[in-house]
Amino acid sequence: MRKILYLIAIFVLLKFHLSFAGRISVFCNLYHNSGINAVMEIKEITIQGERGYQILDLKNSEISTQLPFSQTLIATGIVPSGKYNKIKIVLKKVIFEGKNLKISQKIIELPISFELKKGDSKSLFLNWNVAESFGNVFCPRFYVSLPYKPLPGENLFVFSKDTVWIIDPNLNQVIYSFGITGEPQGVAVDLNNNKIYVVCKKEKVIKVINMNSFQVVEIIPIPLLKIPQFIALGEEGEALITSPEDYMILVMDLSTGGIISQRKLNFMPYEAYYLKSIGKFIVSSYDEGAVYLYDSNLSSETRLTGGFRTEGFVSDGEFLYLTDTQGGVHVYILPQLQYRGKINACDSTLRGISADDKIFITCREGKVILISQGGYVERTIETEGKIFAIVYLPKKKWIYVGFSEEDAIGVIDLVREKFLGKISIGGIPRELASSD
């Protein structure tokens, strides 16, 4: 009996601890590392605050000076909210040109000063001057910097379980982060108003992120739905939201938070998309292997196709492309939605985007295929892992993909048709969004 009471007490204390907690992530940024081939291994990273030392979970303990974008995530963790004043780095060993190098100081303590609020997610940057650290012995040259809010413009937003990571496409580095609670799921971007709408299924709300201020500026409750998941933006502030668990779809007026229409379905609705050329919402049904079309009043229902499971919809104005988790891409002619045929491509197609008169499709096995307008596969670009989400930044000609089994996103240079490398973050990416 005492043991049971003890375990209950531990559970209650842990739950209380987490309810007043946030995330801290530590990245290593490399400077002056050109021409130096070395690996620094970290044993432990802790931060000190009002409640003592907090040990962070090591994610990449071995830091190579040959990192593709001169940055990697070292450690991350859920810690109590409050003020923090010190970070401690414990080094294990350093390999320089294939040999162990003596370390002059294995324990480094550096001052920091910030406050972590409940539900927030802060990034710290351990800046390593590589060139000045090497001599007859290894003398670490570190300093810690706090994040700064980026300037409005071309930025990449990456959503994980509890954090929004901001990546500067000029550096391909994480430069800022903030917390988002409630299990973010579906994401929709309104470029005209510089907003991102995020469905947080656990809290049953839509959180509105301003892409210029990099913060949640509004919270819109979602009525009626048990577990809302996906969202598609229509015309004049309308949004369709799906809830697979209770077989429901809902159209809301985001400006007022009011319900425009609702509909109980005989299938589980999942992904949603707005097809502007015909003014219809598209909803996928995984269990039926079908796609349905609705107007904003949800008064009519049209079954477009069946026989395959789609997780991605793309339109270039002339054609509608539906991905197929069993492989290939199905093409329909707009506006009549006549079936044109299937493009054979990879084993499982997932998400897609339209840009530069091309269609870009992610394949689960780690490929990105480029399809000409309504036609054929022009080329295939290999990445290094299973991928899902995709976004394109036209000014830089970068394609970003989210890895489905890694705490990282990938960068593809479209001009050179080459996979450049990975950017590590503190969680598996769920969705990607661009401010451009």
Q: What is the CATH number of the domain that holds 32?
A: 2.60.40
- The answer to whether residue 102 sits within a structural domain is yes
Per-residue pLDDT for 436 more than 90?
no
Q: What is the pLDDT of residue 372?
A: 87
The pLDDT of residue 15 is above 50: no
In a domain, residue 93? The reply is: yes
Note the pLDDT tens digit of each residue in 122-174: 999 999 999 999 999 999 999 999 998 998 888 999 999 999 999 999 999 99
- Structure token digits, residue 33: 């590392």
Flag whether 162 is in a domain.
no
CA distance 213 to 406: 28
Tens digits of per-residue pLDDT, 188-235? Answer: 999 999 999 999 999 999 999 999 999 999 999 999 999 999 999 999
Residue 368 in this model has a pLDDT that exceeds 70: yes
Is the per-residue pLDDT at 14 higher than 50?
no
Residue-wise pLDDT for 335-359, tens only, equals 999 999 999 989 999 999 998 888 9
The pLDDT > 70 percentage for the chain reads 95
pLDDT of the residue at 19: 54
Which pLDDT does position 77 carry in this prediction?
97
- Dist CA 363 CA 372 (whole Å): 17
Q: Is 125 within a domain?
A: yes
Strand bridging mode 21-31 / 121-129: parallel
Alpha carbons 1 and 83: distance in angstroms, whole number = 38
**CA max distance for the chain:** 77
CA count, 13 A, side-chain hemisphere, 304: 31
Tell me which residue range forms the domain holding 32: 15-145
pLDDT in tens, 174-186: 999 999 999 999 9
- Span 91-118, mean pLDDT? 96
Residue 9 is predicted with a pLDDT of: 36
- At 40 the pLDDT is 98
Report residue 42 CA to chain centroid gap.
Answer: 26
The pLDDT assigned to 266 comes to 93
Domain count for the chain:
1
Average pLDDT over residues 247-268: 96
* 114 domain-assigned: yes
pLDDT value at position 435? Answer: 86
pLDDT of residue 374: 65
Letter string b/e over residues 318-335, b meaning 16 or more CB atoms within 10 A of that residue's CB = ebbbbbbbebbbbbbebe
Q: For residue range 280-312, what is the model confidence (pLDDT) as tens digits?
A: 999 999 888 899 999 999 998 999 876 889 999
The Cα–Cα gap between 421 and 358 comes to 23
Name the β-bridge partners of 313. 322
| Gap between the Cα atoms of 17 and 9, Å rounded | 12
pLDDT in tens, 374-433: 678 999 999 999 999 999 998 899 999 999 999 999 999 999 989 999 999 999 999 999
Report pLDDT for 13. 39
CB 211 within 8 A of CB 157: yes
pLDDT of residue 18: 45
Residue 333 in domain: no
The answer as to whether 232 is a domain residue is no
Q: What is the pTM of this model?
A: 0.94
Residue 33 domain-assigned?
yes
